[in-house]
Amino acid sequence: MIVAIGHDLIEIDRIRRMLEREGQRAEKLFAPAELSYCARLSDPAPSLAARFAAKEAFQKVWPRPHGWRDVWVEREATPGEAFPFARPHLGFAPEIAAEMKERGWVAHLTLTHTKEHASAVVVMEQLA
């Protein structure tokens, strides 16, 4: 059963400006693995913006506030595929992970971006 749906849309230039002006702020918003993954890309801003949107979208389905680094985007390869597709999924701080397990909740994530915008949708599902 779907518990909640959260969506967020952000302008990539907002993240790009933040990185140019106050790069150290990125360390307060993103987990080290997120920063490491995005730093390998020729332009990290679109992927960081999508991750920022994912954090905002999750906040819309979670019952109370959480810290920026309490939720992060991870990549997971699909086993057995000739060309593994790395699916994004959410990682959680221990307190959030424990509460989700207790409630029987699973968060599904999708990310996308264009040249100008990044978007994320989180669907919170309660398992039977």
pLDDT tens for each residue of 64-87: 999 999 999 998 665 666 555 678
Closest CA to 37 of 73, 68, 77: 73
What does the alpha-carbon distance between residue 33 and residue 41 come to, in Å, rounded to a whole number? 13
* CATH code for the domain in which residue 67 is found: 3.90.470.20
Query: Using alpha carbons only, how large is the chain's radius of gyration in Å?
Result: 15
pLDDT of residue 45: 96
| pTM of the predicted protein model | 0.90
Average pLDDT over residues 79-107: 86
The pLDDT value recorded for residue 110 is 96
Quote the domain boundaries for residue 51. 2-126
The string of pLDDT tens digits covering residues 26-47 is: 899 999 999 998 999 999 999 9
Q: For a pLDDT cut of 90, what percent of the chain falls above it?
A: 78
Give the least confident one: 23-32, 46-55, 57-66.
23-32
Q: Give the whole-angstrom CA distance, residue 16 versus residue 80.
A: 36
DSSP 83: S
Number of domains in the chain: 1
